[in-house]
Amino acid sequence: MSSSDLSIIRFVAIVFLVSVCLCSGGYAAGAENIIKGTVTDPGGAAIHGASVEVVANGAIRKAAITNQNGEYSLSLEPGTYLLRVIATGFSSLQKQIEVFQDHNPTFDFMLEIGPATAVVNITDGSFDSAVSEAERQPDFYVPRVLLAP
């Protein structure tokens, strides 16, 4: 190779390196941070299907659903947020978080078992057929007891 060929190769290599540095620097400046974590029950078992919501200024900005391992991840710009976790059968939980530039924090949540609830659908004034006869009686119903003389 001649010296002119080596000069061209050096020039191309320098241009390539400068381009890579400029592109990666611009990308990093606008990059969002990744927050991640795991949602579990009191026994440490993963909660699949929990909703993890990011709230800012009273509105949900982003949300994710936990996978089969109870894991979630969200990309966020630096700032202060309310992180809220909701799952069927569990008490909801929320936490104030702060996300900093170039920092990818982990926020794990353990949800407590929630109170048992039931939903009864009433249409046209009658109870849903899933309600038993005993449950159809009003609270003040007192059964009659016949006593033999």
pLDDT band, residue 105 (cuts 50/70/90): very high
| pLDDT reported for residue 31 | 61
Pairing of strands 126-127, 59-65: unpaired
Query: For residues 85 and 51, is the Cβ–Cβ distance under 8 A?
Result: yes
Give me the percent of the chain exceeding a pLDDT of 90: 53
What pLDDT, in 10s, does the model give residues 74-101? 999 999 999 999 999 999 999 999 999 9
| pLDDT reported for residue 95 | 96
Q: Note the Cα 77 to chain centre separation in Å.
A: 16
| pLDDT reported for residue 17 | 46
Torsion of CA 141, 144, 145, 149, to 10 degrees: 150
Closest CA to 64 of 81, 51, 80: 51
| pLDDT reported for residue 149 | 54
What pLDDT, in 10s, does the model give residues 11-64? 444 544 445 444 444 344 456 899 999 999 999 999 999 999 999 999 999 999
Q: Is residue 138 predicted with pLDDT exceeding 70? A: no
Q: Note the Cα 94 to chain centre separation in Å.
A: 11
In a 3-state reduction of DSSP, which class is residue 80? strand
- What CATH code is assigned to 32-141? 2.60.40.1120
Closest CA to 51 of 112, 109, 114: 109
